[in-house]
Structure 1
Amino acid sequence: MTRSARRTRRTVQVVGATAAALLALSACSSDSESGSGSTSGSGSGEKSGGTEKLSGTVNVFAAASLTESFTELGKEFEKQHPGTKVVFNFGGSDSLAAGITSGAPADVFASASPKTMKVVTDADAASGTPATFVRNRLEIATLPGNPDRIATLKDLTGSGLKVVLCDKSVPCGAAAQKALDASRLKLTPVSYEEDVKSALNKVVLKEADAALVYKTDVKAAGDKVEGVEFPEAADAVNDYPITLLKDAPNAEVGKAFIELVRSAEGQKVLTGAGFTAP
């Protein structure tokens, strides 16, 4: 082989090696771009602007005293998350807890006392540890204008006065009994009601002269009743815990609703209704 031929052969080998290297680099770059593109596409899912879009119905079991404030928060939640619907089941906390432990489909439980929440946690039906989000205290609801001149808790024991209490099994009834015990007073009501709204309604309908209910319910009733504060109420303040339920059908939306309740916006609605911050 001549010197010229050997030089030509070496040149061809160098050019071939260079071309092979360039092809390999091009293939790696193509694979990298392709992989990057597929990762981005699979991760987008139901997300919009970096946040997951919520949808579907969330079922909230909540104490009757939360009716007005939670209804307002439910409307705000649906406004903030188009495609969601908040369905409430308001009632006595004890009956709600019993429904949950019996398998009623619910995502969130907001109780008017730790005692009724414990029924749910003891049944291992709560997801995580319940958090106290507000507090509430008792007030005497009288007929408009307070015609019986009720000024103290002791005045409710007067003869001829028709007084209504919540059943002792529900938080407002337990709180009323606690306040009466602290004052060493005995009171025989004309009826025990299943929840605080039912007790208040007896006064609204003029079927009773007074009822021991929550301050928030007196405020919600407006001029249909008149509220009388009493110092013994400080001995029976109720903490309100809230939790996501373990078998929540729509857990993500349930979490988001709890976040709204505990947010500054939610607290503003609740304190505006007469609750106090925890």
Structure 2
Amino acid sequence: MNRSERRACRRLRVAGAGVAALLALSACSSSDSDSSAQLDSPASASAPDKLSGITVFAAASLKETFTTLGEQFEKEHPDTKVTFSFGGSDALAASITGGAPADVFASASPKTMKVVTDGGAAYGAPATFARNELEIATLPDNPDKIASLKDLTKSDLKVVLCDRAAPCGSATEKALDTARLKLTPASYEEDAKTALTKVVLKEADAAVVYKTDVKAAGDKVEGVDFPESAVAISGYPIALLKKSQNTVAAEAFIALVQSPAGQKILSRAGFLKP
């Protein structure tokens, strides 16, 4: 091989190395692009075969029904544990947008769910799975003879309401505005369950809460309907969260809530159909 031939071979080897490098870079770029696409999809955000449970943030008024649904879900999925965090929807929404790890959020109002969706913390559009109506909770046998929303304005009554930021508080304000009534409560409570507890403990004469809360309390309180509640019915939306580490199980739980079996449990507790 003469000198010219040797130089030509060297040029080919250098060119070959360059092509190999370009191919390697192209492969890396393609791999990075695929990874980014996977991170943006709900299905790739979880590894259900490596995880044993889901965390559900839910409105306090869902405690009894969701506990029952959680037990049913665990029977159907023995390897998946459902952990609940119940509380005021507004407080839960703030926790979620603040980065709290959870898989599912079930809110007592579209307004508090919007905080989560506007914050980019949920996948897709939330689905309304139930509705709830307000009711006055009084002491057993209604000793103060409360028969209407107007009766709660009597000065000798100790009445508690949900905080205005909570769904039940917002709904109560709407009902009071419709009735053109002003009511100054003895206290504002974090959520409907807390307000109801004040009556159960006889620390208050009455509270405006959800019908489902009154029903769940049994004979510890008495419920009084009022017509203005019809204008303040709350829809309950549910959504899959982007922080979910087990989206397959989370979606299965949401499906159970929306299923005929789930709807039957909710209806039995006093919830209205979506």
The two structures share one fold, judged by TM-score above 0.5: yes
Matches of 1:63 and 1:259, distance apart in 2: 18
The equivalent of 2:105 in structure 1 is 109
After superposition, residues 128-277 of structure 1 pair within 5 angstroms as: 128-277=124-273
Q: Pick the aligned partner of 2:77 from 70, 78, 81.
A: 81
What secondary structure does 1:248 align onto? Answer: coil
After TM superposition, the score normalised by the length of structure 1 is: 0.80
What secondary structure does 2:55 align onto? Answer: strand
Matches of 2:210 and 2:162, distance apart in 1: 10
After TM superposition, the score normalised by the length of structure 2 is: 0.82
1:12-63 CA-to-partner distances (Å, cap 9, x unmatched) read: xxxxxxxxxxxxxxxxxxxxxxxxxxxxxxxxxxxxxxxx989611100000
Q: Which amino acid aligns with 1:121?
A: T
Unaligned runs of 5+ in 1: 1-51
Counterparts in 2 of 1:53 and 1:260: CA distance versus 1, 3 Å: farther
1:109-141 CA-to-partner distances (Å, cap 9, x unmatched) read: 000000000000000111010000000000000
| 1:246, distance to aligned residue in structure 2 (A) | 1.4
Matches of 1:253 and 1:154, distance apart in 2: 47
After superposition, residues 5-44 of structure 1 pair within 5 angstroms as: none
State, as a whole percentage, how many aligned pairs show the same letter.
70
Matches of 1:99 and 1:62, distance apart in 2: 12
Residues matched between the structures, number: 227
Q: Is the 8 A contact 1:54 1:253 kept in 2?
A: no
What secondary structure does 1:258 align onto? Answer: helix
Superposition misfits of 4+ residues, deviation over 6 angstroms: none
Q: Which amino acid aligns with 2:220?
A: K
| 1:159, distance to aligned residue in structure 2 (A) | 1.3
| 1:209, distance to aligned residue in structure 2 (A) | 0.2
Q: Is the 8 A contact 1:55 1:81 kept in 2?
A: no
Matches of 1:120 and 1:61, distance apart in 2: 12
Matches of 1:79 and 1:73, distance apart in 2: 10
1:178-199 CA-to-partner distances (Å, cap 9, x unmatched) read: 0000000000000000111100
Unaligned runs of 5+ in 2: 1-47
The equivalent of 2:52 in structure 1 is 56
